[in-house]
Each structure stands twice: as C-alpha cells, then as structure tokens.
Amino acid sequence: MGQGLKTVKGTRDLLPAETGIWAAVEAVARRVFASYGFGEIRTPVLESTELFVRGVGESTDIVGKEMYTFADKKGRSVTLRPESTAAVARAFIEHGMASWPSPVRLFYLGPQFRYERPQRGRYRQFHQLGAEVLGDEGPTSDAEVLLLLLRFLGELGFRDLEVLLNTVGDAASRQAYGEALRAYLEPYRDRLGEDSRRRLVSNPLRILDTKVPAERELLADAPALGDCLSPAARDHFDELRRLLDRFAIGYCLDDRLVRGLDYYTKTVFEIVSGELGAQNAVCGGGRYDRLISDLGGPEVPGIGFAIGLDRLVDILPQKFRQRAAGGQPVVVAALGEVAPEHAIAAAEALRGAGVAAVAELVSRSVKATLKRADKKGARHVVLIGEEEVEAGVVTWKDLSRGEQRRLAIAVLPAEIGGA
C-alpha cells in the first residue's frame, strides 16, 4: 500500500457500524416498495454521456458542471450516472416496456456521481433510492407515489418532514413562462452573471436555480410560474391537491420550486428537513411526461422521486437507528485449555437453530471475553471451560440482565428467544 492513500475527495467508506443501518433502511424500502407493486431495476453505473445531455438537459448545472465524463479506450464519451431517471427511461425504451402491463412500476438503489463541492450532506459519490411509475399521465399516480414515499418515511419513524409541492406546467406553460421570465430579466441583463446571461437565451427557467444573491434578489419580483399555467396543467394540479387532501397528505405550496433538472413537467416536489443545514433536501421528484419521447421512445409519461440515502441516514430517527444496530451475534468463547473448536461447534449449533453467533478463536480470560463482548454491543455470551466440556453444557451469560446459567447448548436458542 502506498503511503497516505485515501478515498477520493467527496467519497467515503461506509464501515460495518453504518452499513448495518443502511441495510436495515434498504430492507424497509424493499418491503414497502414491493407492497405497492414496484419491481427493482439495476442499471449500469456507466452510461453514454448523450443520455444525460439529452435527458437531464444541457443547460443544467448537473450536465454543465458536475458530471464525471471521460472517453473510454475507444474514444466513446461515457459518464458515471449523476442520477437514474434518465437511465430508467433509457431502459424502458431499450426493453420495449411500453408493451408490458401499464403502468410499469420500478425502483432502484445505488451510487450516483456529481462533481460538486463537498460539504455536510453533499458528496461526489452519493446514494439514491428512487422509484418511477411509467405509463400513466393522471394525477392519481402522482398521489400514489407520494403515498408510497410517506409510508416509507413513516415506517422509518420520521414524523416532521416537510413536503414542498409545485407545478412547473406542461410544455406550453413552460414556454409561456420562459418568455415572461426573459422579458422581465432582459432590462437587467448587465446585472446577471455569465451563466444566467447564457441561460437567458438558451433556457430562462434555469436562471431560477441561481445561488448568486444579487440574482436571487432580482428574481424576488419576477413573474410566477403559476400565472402561466395552461388549463390542462392547472386541472392536473388541482386534482392532485384534492387527492392529497383526500389521503391526508400535508404539504406546503412553494411556487419557487422548479427543481434542477430539465425533464420535469407539471408536478414537482421535494422533502426537506430542518435538521440537515444547507443541503436540506432529503428527496426530490416530479413528473416527466416528455422524457421518454425526447430520448427517442414512445409518448409515455412518468413520475417518480429519488431519496438521498446519505442524508436520510444522517437524520434517521434514533429509535430506528437503535433497533437496526441491535441484535449483535452471540459471542462464544472457549476458555483456558479448552480447544477453540468447542467454541466453533457451539456457534455452529446456534447458527443451525437460526441464532447468529461468533466464535472467539483466541482463548481469553472470562473478564477479557466479557469486556470484548460488551464493546461489540453483544447481549449474550456463551463460555466453555473445562468443567462445561466435561458436563456437556455451556455457561450462558445475559449481559443486559446480569444473569448466568449452565445449560445444554441445544436448549439455548429457545432460552435466548424468550429472554
């Protein structure tokens, strides 16, 4: 190993204490998503660069500044996926999913890559858990996706997350709004930075993503997207809001929420947490009725979301965290002159009965064994000394109750189950 080799900036290792929690969150996701009929899709981490240029949009920050793009050995431009919705849309087209029973419901879990400035909750390799419904244009799908999302978050124990909701309208509304925004900003052209001046021509809506304070000030009095909605987009939004009320889903209307990706039409939403600081979005999503056709596929609408797992785990309710961290394997130790194979045999017997166990391979004193077991967070310890071997029993210690008993290994699983 070379000296000082470390993870690449903005990436990190997740060690067992954390991966246990991640796996528990993922297990809840798999169960809840399956209960809504979603099947898992695994797409490659590497995609052709063109997919994101066409799907996410050339004038977005993601495509313009944040992609890990490089030429492979044959000179083809490839990109580490910065998000997965475009990849799911590509897969939908590639596998002819338009002929599957509609709508197609998919979910995914996996790493994404964006070259952003690292800070709390913002990594260059981060992880998303996402879901997409492809093939239904009605607001019922929007409501169902939000129901799924909130049930999942509820099962993790989240109670006070805020749902921000807006509509960016259909293509006609966006066109009308883009023109209104351009007309409003044109007189202030020289107060805009280089990026925004370019976007004024190519894609005025993207100026709303600006973080430049002077530009944000200018935008405070800009026309609102809501004033440019087509009747169809307005009806869709009204019906969605009625459904959210019907299912008691609380939300805040946020008419400045436009999201940083170009594919959105109509409904957009985010889930934010006050506990996260500057990077407060735990989840982002919305409808994308043109994405699949823009990528060369059939006219199939879609809606979905992606949760940032790094942020979600960061603010996971303590109760869930504790439950997930519990259940450490039983520690089995052979003491003194007793050969370690006795510990392995007892551990195997426990595993055979469905109880997780780890054998200590180096004999230690009782004191050292108990100390190590406690440090690992184990609740149960099995000690095998010479007397135990002779009597054909083991000594079982329940550290949380401070009790100990001698018994046959065969009855231990039932005792531990009842403890």
The site for ligand HAM (CB under 6 A) is made up of 83, 85, 114, 116, 121-123, 126, 128, 130, 132, 260-261, 281-286, 304-306, 308, 310-311
In terms of C-beta density within 10 A (0-12 exposed, 13-18 middle, 19 or more buried), how is residue 335 classed?
buried
Nearer to ligand HAM, 228 or 261 (CB): 261
Nearer to ligand HAM, 21 or 381 (CB): 21
Least Cβ distance, residue 249 to ligand HAM (angstroms): 18
Structure-block tokens of residue 187: 């007189």
Least Cβ distance, residue 191 to ligand HAM (angstroms): 28
Least Cβ distance, residue 215 to ligand HAM (angstroms): 21
Least Cβ distance, residue 164 to ligand HAM (angstroms): 11
Structure-block tokens of residue 206: 């993207």
Least Cβ distance, residue 340 to ligand HAM (angstroms): 44
Which H, E and C letters describe 284-327, residue by residue? EEEECCCHHHHCCCCCCCEEEEEEEHHHHHHCCCHHHHHHHHCC
Least Cβ distance, residue 349 to ligand HAM (angstroms): 44
Least Cβ distance, residue 235 to ligand HAM (angstroms): 21
Nearer to ligand HAM, 111 or 223 (CB): 111
Nearest Cα neighbor of 262 from 385, 89, 143 is 89
Asked whether 413 and 354 are in contact (CB, 8 A), the reply is yes
Nearer to ligand HAM, 172 or 276 (CB): 276
Nearest-CB residue for ligand HAM: 308
Least Cβ distance, residue 374 to ligand HAM (angstroms): 35
Nearer to ligand HAM, 114 or 199 (CB): 114
Structure-block tokens of residue 300: 């199939």
Tokens 């023109």 belong to 179
Nearer to ligand HAM, 204 or 308 (CB): 308
